[in-house]
Amino acid sequence: MNAFAEDLAQAVESLNKEFLVGDAQTASANPQDAASSLVDTTIKKESPLDAPAIRESLSQEAVRLIGSQRVLTEEDGIEIESTSVSVDSVDVEESSQTSSTIVTVDLHIIRDMGKDDFGENAAWEEVIPYVTRLNETTGIPMSLDIMNEPEDQVEGQDPIQIDGPVAPTPSTPEEQELYEYGGPRDEVETRGLSAANRAKVSRYAKKHWKNYNKNYRRFGQDCTNFASQALRAGGWKHKTGYYKSTSAWWYNRLNQSRSWVNAEYFYQFALKKSKRTSMHSSPGKLRTGDILQYRTKRDKAKSHTMITTGRKKGQPLLTYHTRDTLNKPLSQIRKPNRILYPHKV
């Protein structure tokens, strides 16, 4: 299994180097042929990757990278100076229902963009799960899913905790109040953050984008929880109230308000109820420490929350959980089916 993961990392690194580093104009002219050709030469015969399902998925990923490179260079003026890929973790799960083995390889991809507009190192990093289903009898891969995009949140539902401190069950009236309302009274009200405080938001995000803060509970869909943590580090104060109310925003050892962990509830609290944020006229005006959310055109609720952690050639760089990402250029977030909501904090 380690051989499969290592071969996969090498193949993904080859694709990134070929199509993101330097001049990929030739590939842009005929991306499908360029992608298939490189995948064929990258995957060696009798390699664990030598299966039609792997080739097809990697070819599609190469086409996506070609499109990314065109936008980065032609529209953003950003050049990827180098790239590297390593295996972050490997998880193997036996599926009795489908008579198959599911292998999830988390690849840590680092794309060096040089210095950002403030003179700091600007690496675009991602931890991307590559999920493979192997035939139980033959061991041949039947599919390869590349989980580039973050999972959507559902309005009105709390994400499921998967790690971090276990919240005890309330056992006294005081603990029940903490669980439902966050506490007996509010802290000092929060208004717009200063540049220094927004810098604290950004520093927190850069520190914990991949190395999760163990003092907080971790959720399967963790983007808004992560953004709330960063804003708390930057100076946002708790607003107590019933945990399902969009007028409350808090976290404690027993529970948290829904607005702390749910993208739509966060939007309603931050912009509508508390007025702690306002909307920039365009996402391109996002400053370090500001928040970006989006929803798809088919949905009414916001589904993802991100933190601005820098700028490169005037392009905001976004950091978030689910999937763990550092300094992703705004142009790589924009999609025709997405509506963006740039919060000024």
Residues 223 and 312 in one domain: yes
Rounded CA gap, 80 and 65, in Å?
12
Where a domain ends, among 146, 161, 188? Answer: 146
pLDDT of residue 268: 97
Least-confidence region, from 21-30, 35-44, 332-341: 21-30
For the chain, the average pLDDT equals 91
Residue 25's pLDDT band (cuts 50, 70, 90): low
Residues 227 and 107 in one domain: no
User: Would the pLDDT of 271 be above 70?
Assistant: yes
User: Would the pLDDT of 52 be above 70?
Assistant: yes
Rounded CA gap, 18 and 61, in Å?
12
3-state secondary structure of 94: strand
% the chain with pLDDT above 90: 68
Residues 182 and 98 in one domain: no
Residues 134 and 155 in one domain: no
pLDDT of residue 30: 76
pLDDT of residue 314: 95
pLDDT of residue 98: 67
More confident residue, 29 or 138: 138
Residues 244 and 314 in one domain: yes
Residues 198 and 337 in one domain: yes
Residue range of the domain that includes 22: 2-146
Query: What's the average model confidence in pLDDT over 280-301?
Result: 96
Q: What is the pLDDT of residues 133-178, one digit of tens each?
A: 988 788 788 899 999 887 666 666 678 888 888 888 888 988 999 9
Residues 183 and 123 in one domain: no
Residues 72 and 207 in one domain: no
Residues across the chain: 345
> What's the half-sphere exposure (Cβ side, CA atoms, 13 Å) at 31?
18
Where a domain ends, among 83, 116, 146? Answer: 146
Residues 337 and 223 in one domain: yes
User: Would the pLDDT of 193 be above 70?
Assistant: yes
Where a domain ends, among 128, 146, 164? Answer: 146
- Considering only CA atoms, which of 59, 68, 61, 58 is closest in space to residue 113? 68
Residues 127 and 266 in one domain: no
Q: What is the pLDDT of residues 65-115, one digit of tens each?
A: 988 988 998 889 999 999 999 999 999 988 766 678 899 999 999 999 999
CATH number for the domain spanning 134: value is 3.10.450
Distances (CA, A) of 337 to 18, 196, 302, 308, 319: 28, 35, 13, 21, 21
pLDDT of residue 201: 98
Residues 81 and 164 in one domain: no
Q: Report how many domains make up the chain.
A: 2
Rounded CA gap, 336 and 36, in Å?
26
Q: What is the pLDDT of residues 194-232, one digit of tens each?
A: 999 999 999 999 999 999 999 999 999 999 999 999 999
Residues 181 and 278 in one domain: yes
Cis peptide before 191 (omega within 30 of 0): no
More confident residue, 280 or 48: 280
User: Angle at CA 42, nearest 5°, toward 41 and 46?
Assistant: 95
Cα-based torsion angle of the residue sequence 202, 205, 128, 60 in order, rounded to the nearest 10 degrees: -20
